[in-house]
Amino acid sequence: MIYHKIPPVFDENSTVLILGSFPSVKSRDAQFYYNHPQNRFWKVLSAVFSCECPVTIPQKKAFLIENRVAVWDVIASCEIHGSSDSSIRNAVPNDIIPVIENSKIRRIFTNGATSYALYNRFLKNATRTDAVKLPSTSPANAAYSLERLIEEWKQITDNSALIK
């Protein structure tokens, strides 16, 4: 069993929550989200918010807080081979309710199909909120170009759908 030791990034002003599935090996090693150099998460978000792409972990944290974006993962612990979402077994979810209760989260998004499925399985009943499935920023998602990802991810700036 591998345990998720990276705390959520959010503050009382966060309005959007982006949930991944479980940190990659590179992210677990760095103790921060989307740390694999080929993951397009930071490039996509910086384009969506028309900001310079953050490089260091302190820059990434500041970027998220400044843009009112919270980031965490659905899974607190699981059995996993490397970074492969398809190998996740015996998943135990994170309790995301304190993040929602201590912020202004209005929308929940998932980074890819696995996090979306895990959210619906483990967390949707607790939050009573539908998540929006966004295409994965993982390098394994070769079907999406960077430009196409940016277009899809622009939804996070649309305030039309709110938490119930």
Those residues with Cβ within 8 angstroms of residue 154's Cβ, 6 or more apart along the chain or in another chain:
48
For 5-22, b/e burial (b = at least 16 CB within 10 A) is ebebbbeeebbbbbbbbb
Q: Please confirm, yes or no, whether 39 is among the known catalytic residues.
A: yes
Helices 41-48 and 146-153, packing angle to 10 deg: 50
* Distance separating alpha carbons of residues 103 and 106, to the nearest angstrom: 9
Please give the structure tokens belonging to residue 11: 């503050």
End-to-end CA distance of the chain: 34
Q: Annotated catalytic residue: which of 39, 67, 125, 141?
A: 39
Joined together, the tokens standing for residue 6 give 């990276």
- Gap between the Cα atoms of 148 and 63, Å rounded: 22
Q: Which residues are catalytic?
A: 39
